[in-house]
Amino acid sequence: MPAPMPASVIAALAARFDLHRLWEQPDADAFLRTVGPHIRGLAANTLAGRIDGSLFDRLPALEIVANFGVGYDNVDAADAAARGIVVTNTPGVLDEEVADLAVGLLLATVRQIPQADRHLREGRWPAGPFPLSPTLRGRRIGIVGLGAIGKAVARRLEGFDVPIAYHGRSRQPDVRYDYHENVVALAAACDVLIAVVPGGAATRHMIDADVLAALGPDGILINVARGSVVDETALIAALQAGTILGAGLDVFEHEPDVPAALLPLPNVVLLPHIGSASQRTREAMGQLVVDNLAAWFNDGRAITPVPESANIPARSTG
């Protein structure tokens, strides 16, 4: 385990395996030289930094990387697959939690709930009421990435009686929402854009200045995907210039560092990447990390391998 994970994960793995906590080693390089050749499984999260060839080279016996999170852009899954290393993630168990947060962040951003809270706490209410906010009424919602989390967001928003459209790699024939071939077209057709796509090179800065311009001066951006999906420089410029109305952000490009220019803006709601951060959901994610490792070494098959690992054969348990 290169970096700390929840205590329940550490305890469960330590009960089943010889668990080496790399962050506790006084000399990580020396440890990897001596113990690295014997390591067969890796429990990873974003705190571990990039998991790629530079680490794989030092772990020649590695068979599986169990990643804590549905997103796994912190792991070079393609390189892992080329080496016969299975990568797993934690899909399903966090979909509903992230969707709840996305809708909450949208409402907080549109109705300016944190700003109203500050108005009261700072004693400004006796001097005058909080200004009237924008509304969700009459807004058209665009979802960028209609996977499991995107669909969960859409189901919730159906209850708000707002029209929903989406963009993804392809049209989904069983989905009744309007489909747009690209993100610019989706943004032009909507006044709220919710990003729920995976991170990685394919989606880096897919929401850029052109998309924000198409979203327009009444537009609101919500990002619960990855910070890399949004061109933060373009977003800051759009917020400062009034190109869009506001933004709600749970993720940032260089977490935990947040651009200083965002902090004083009155038209943003900023959260410290808490999309799946409830105790119940994080415990379920951690259990899936444990279950993937146990299944691989006991039964020869991982439970939730990522697509890049689809062609890696089962491990022989004979």
Q: Which residues are catalytic?
A: 226, 255, 273
DSSP 246: E
How far CA 283 is from CA of 93, 146, 288, 304, in Å, comes to: 10, 25, 9, 16
User: At residue 193, what is the residue type?
Assistant: L
Are 5 and 293 in contact by the 8 Å Cβ rule? The answer is no
Report how far residue 194's alpha carbon sits from residue 179's, in angstroms, rounded to the nearest whole number: 14
User: Directed axis angle between helix 113-121 and helix 95-110, to 10°?
Assistant: 60
If we measure between CA atoms, which residue out of 177, 104, 174 comes closest to residue 142? 177
First to last CA, the chain: 27
User: At residue 60, what is the residue type?
Assistant: P
If we measure between CA atoms, which residue out of 72, 8, 7 comes closest to residue 46? 72
Are 183 and 209 in contact by the 8 Å Cβ rule? The answer is no
- Strand, helix or coil at 269? strand
User: At residue 315, what is the residue type?
Assistant: R
- Strand, helix or coil at 220? strand
User: At residue 316, what is the residue type?
Assistant: S
